[in-house]
Amino acid sequence: MMRRFRIVALVAVGLTALAPACGPPPSVDAGGESGSAEPSPCPAELTQPTVDRKVFPEESWAAREEGISVEKFQRQDALADDAGRLGAKLDKNERETFADLEIEYGSRFRVIAYFTRDGEETVRPYVRCTPLEGHVEVRTVEASMEELSAAQNEAHRIVEELGIRADSDINITKNRVEIYVTDRGRLEAALRKSDQVLPEHVAIVEVGGLARPD
Max CA pair span of the chain = 64
According to DSSP, the β-strands at 136-140 and 110-115 are: parallel
Residues 179, 103, single domain; the answer is no
- Look at residue 36 in the predicted model and tell me its pLDDT: 47
User: Cα(112)–Cα(103) distance, rounded to whole angstroms?
Assistant: 6
Question: Quick check: 17 and 175 in contact, CB under 8 A?
Answer: no
Query: If you ran DSSP here, which 8-state letter would residue 131 be given?
Result: T
pTM over 0.75: no
Q: What angle do CA 67, 60, 52 make, to 5 degrees?
A: 110
User: Cα(204)–Cα(214) distance, rounded to whole angstroms?
Assistant: 16
Residues 195, 173, single domain; the answer is yes
Residues 102, 198, single domain; the answer is no
Residues 61, 93, single domain; the answer is yes
Q: Quick: pLDDT tens for 11-64.
A: 333 323 333 333 334 444 444 444 445 667 777 667 777 776 678 888 888 888
Residues 60, 102, single domain; the answer is yes
**DSSP characters for 45-85?**
HHHSPP--SPPPHHHHHHHHHHTS-HHHHHHHHHHHHHHHH
Check residue 156 and give left, alpha or beta (phi > 0: left; psi -120 to 50: alpha): alpha
Q: Where are the alpha helices (DSSP H) in 54-206?
A: 57-66, 70-93, 119-127, 145-161, 184-194
Residue 212 in any domain: the answer is no
Q: Dihedral (C-alpha) 28, 38, 129, 145: value to the nearest 10 degrees?
A: -30
Q: How many domains does the chain have?
A: 2
Residue 61 in any domain: the answer is yes
- Look at residue 43 in the predicted model and tell me its pLDDT: 72
Query: Which of 95, 111, 140 is where one domain is finished?
Result: 140
Residue 211 in any domain: the answer is no
Instruction: Give 198's pLDDT tier (boundaries 50, 70, 90).
Output: very high
Residues 150, 108, single domain; the answer is no
Q: Quick: pLDDT tens for 62-110.
A: 888 888 888 899 899 999 999 999 999 999 999 999 999 999 988 889 9
Residue 214 in any domain: the answer is no
Residue 35 in any domain: the answer is yes
150 vs 66, higher pLDDT? 150
Residues 132, 73, single domain; the answer is yes
Residues 116, 182, single domain; the answer is no
Residue 25 in any domain: the answer is yes
204 vs 211, higher pLDDT? 204
Please report, in angstroms and rounded to a whole number, the separation of the first and last CA atoms in the chain: 15
Residues 64, 104, single domain; the answer is yes
Query: Which of 90, 107, 140 is where one domain is finished?
Result: 140
- Look at residue 125 in the predicted model and tell me its pLDDT: 96
Radius of gyration (Cα) for the chain, nearest Å?
20
> Of the given ranges (17-26, 74-83, 154-163, 175-184), which has the lowest mean pLDDT?
17-26
Is a pLDDT exceeding 80 seen at residue 8? no
202-206, strands of its sheet edge to edge: 167-171, 176-181, 202-206
Domain of residue 152: give its range: 145-206
- Look at residue 210 in the predicted model and tell me its pLDDT: 57
Query: Which of 140, 167, 196 is where one domain is finished?
Result: 140
Percent above pLDDT 70 for the chain: 77
Residues 19, 122, single domain; the answer is yes
Residue 188 in any domain: the answer is yes
Residues 93, 25, single domain; the answer is yes
Whichever domain contains 186, its CATH number is 3.30.300
According to DSSP, the β-strands at 110-115 and 98-104 are: antiparallel
